[in-house]
Amino acid sequence: MKVPFLDLKVQYESIKHEINFAIQKVCENCAFAGGPYVAEFEKAFAEFCGTKYAVGVGNGTDALWAALIALGIGGDDEVITSPNTFMATAEAITFCGAKPVFVDVDEQTYNIDPNLIESAVTPRTKAIIPVHLYGQPADMDAIMEIAARHNLYVIEDACQAHGAEYKGRRAGSMGIAGCFSFYPGKNLGAYGEAGAVVTNNAELAGKIRMFRDHGQQKKYYHSMVGWNARMDGIQGAILSVKLKHLNEWNQARRRNAKLYNELLANVDEITTPLEKDYAAHIYHIYAVRTRNRDALISALAAEDIHCGIHYPIPIHLQEAYRFLGYKQGSFPVAEKCAAEQVSLPMFPELTAGQIRRVCGGIKNYMAVTV
Ligand SMILES: *Cc1c(COP(=O)(O)O)cnc(C)c1O
């Protein structure tokens, strides 16, 4: 029995009729770029996040970039974020003209360590982008407090945290803006590319709306230099269908994580993820840590069990960011994560039998090597 890292097909099969009907409606109304199906999704997604506004854009990278641009960040500004994230977080900072400044992460949550933020703040710092990595929110109270003290914006990278909660508040709703990706493999995934920014700030929402549509206030009247970062109508319609299932899918992921935690509890060589008391973790990724990570992945692959690594090289050590001048040892916790983490198969439809097989494979491997 194969255990894939992710299986999008089994979910599609379960909602096929709703999805196909939604796509057909968009085609019949020819509402392909932006339009009513995007607006309908925006309304529902804002409500889901507990914010006043949601603005649909082309993808999660667009969402981060548009939020930074709309807040006027660029030039010589600096933006603080964590180095163990997907490249897009840093790229958005670079492409608004600002400089990414990294801060190491907490060893238990893998999220930015609030105790280390203040020493990275300079007179040029304009914003902090906490990444809610793997679906567990960063320690937002501590981060918001530091931001208030230094007059910084907080933009949440909630691209892995659709529906995650921090002290009962939804990810994306706590900073000035929350940025989401609906890349197909995310907890709420489109059938193509899509993203959104959520906010309670009317002016910011208005600016991002304008920015995503060439800075137009009305057709062919451009009040700012913008971009084409619109969401597809078909993606809007598909996301509206899938949003209705998201709570149930997130609950299934949480159940799967619980079973993994139980089955791996007595495996000394494996560190399972820790859910903080303040958090509702939605396990976009279920990552464990172990010393001989690469050998474990190969051994499992030989048994047709497929894992991932998120992420093998932290951003500060990527060739693309060599010019920032960081080196090996700059962020020891992030580097340790990159060396030791394995992402086990995780999706809502993963069965208990499959989870048992993964854990059995891990135990067999440990028995012969340790
Ligand atoms: C997926 C992701 C992004 C980028 O989203 P895209 O839709 O792929 O552009 C940004 N940040 C994080 C943490 C992500 O996981």
pLDDT tens for 118-159 read 999 999 999 999 999 999 999 999 999 999 999 999 999 999
Q: Residues 122, 171: one domain?
A: yes
Q: What is the pLDDT of residue 213?
A: 97
Measured from the Cα of 195, ligand 1's closest atom is: 7
Task: Mark which of 218, 243, 268 sits at the end of a domain.
Answer: 243
Q: What is the pLDDT of residue 1?
A: 85
Ligand 1 atom closest to the CA of 64, numbered from 1 = 10
Cα 199 from Cα 214, distance rounded (Å): 20
For residues 280 and 177, membership in a common domain is answered with no
pLDDT at 368: 84
Is the pLDDT score of 295 beyond 80? yes
Together in a domain, 180 and 297:
no
CATH number at residue 283: 3.90.1150.10
> What's the order of all strands across the beta sheet hosting 177-181?
53-57, 195-199, 177-181, 153-157, 125-129, 78-81, 99-102
On whether the CB atoms of residues 157 and 138 are closer than 8 A, the answer is no
d(CA 96, ligand 1 centre) in Å: 16
> From the CA of 61, how far away is ligand 1's center (Å)?
6
DSSP assignment of 84-108: SS-HHHHHHHHHTT-EEEE--B-TT
Quick: pLDDT tens for 74-92: 999 999 999 999 999 999 9
Residue 356 belongs to a domain: yes
Query: Looking at residues 318-341, what average pLDDT do you find?
Result: 98
Give me ligand 1 centre to Cα 64, in Å. Answer: 9
Does one domain contain both 75 and 190? yes
157 lines ligand 1 (CB under 6 A): yes
Residue 217's pLDDT band, with cuts at 50, 70 and 90, is confident
pLDDT digits (tens, 9 = 90+) for 42-62: 999 999 999 999 999 999 999
Distance 365 CA to ligand 1 centre (A): 33
Identify the pLDDT of residue 334.
Answer: 98
Q: Answer whether residue 3 is part of any domain.
A: no
Q: Please indicate, yes or no, whether residues 66 and 41 belong to a single structural domain of this protein.
A: yes
Do 199 and 311 belong together in one domain? Answer: no
- How many domains does the chain contain in total? 2
pLDDT at 370 over 80: no
Residue type, 328: Q
**Residue 297 and residue 326 in one domain:** yes
Residues 158, 32 share a domain: yes
Residues 34 and 57 in one domain: yes
Classify residue 144: in a domain, yes or no: yes
pTM of the model: 0.98
> Which of 220, 243, 266 lies at the terminal end of a domain, its last residue?
243
Q: Calculate the average pLDDT of the chain.
A: 97
- Given the CA of residue 183, which atom of ligand 1 is nearest to it? 7
Q: CA triplet 138, 140, 146: central angle to 5 degrees?
A: 120
In the chain, pLDDT over 70 holds for what percent of residues? 100
Within-domain flag for 71: yes
What's the average model confidence in pLDDT over 352-363? 98
Residue from 155, 183, 188, 285 to probe ligand 1 pocket by mutation (most atoms less than 8 Å from CB): 183
Ligand 1: which residue has its CA nearest to atom 2?
159
217 plus 272 within the same structural domain: no
Check if 89 has its Cβ closer than 6 Å to any atom of ligand 1: yes
Do residues 94 and 238 both lie within one domain? yes
Whether residues 177 and 301 share a domain: the answer is no
Asked if residue 160 has its Cβ within 6 Å of ligand 1, the reply is: yes
Nearest to 104 by CA among 80, 123, 127: 80
Q: How far is CA 185 from CA 88, 288, 310, 364, in A?
A: 16, 19, 13, 29
Integer Cα distance of 326 and 68 in angstroms:
23
The residue range of the domain holding 212 is 8-104+111-243
Q: Give the nearest ligand 1 atom to 92 CA.
A: 10
| Mean pLDDT in residue range 254-279 | 98
Domain final position from 193, 228, 243 = 243
Cα–Cα distances (Å) from 120 to 93, 104, 333, in that order, read 16, 10, 16
Is 2 contained in some domain? no
Task: Read off the pLDDT of residues 186-199 as tens digits, 9 standing for 90 and up.
Answer: 999 999 999 999 99
**Average pLDDT for residues 213-221, to the nearest whole number?**
94
CA 162 to centroid of ligand 1, rounded, Å: 12
119, 91 Cβ separation under 8 angstroms = no
Q: Residue 275 C-alpha to ligand 1 middle, in angstroms?
A: 22
* Ligand 1 atom with least separation from CA of 133: 13
Give the CATH number, domain containing residue 62.
3.40.640.10
Residue 1 lies in a domain: no
Q: Which of 160, 186, 187, 227 to mutate to test the pocket of ligand 1 (most atoms within 8 A of CB)?
A: 160
- Asked, for residue 212, whether it belongs to a domain, the answer is yes
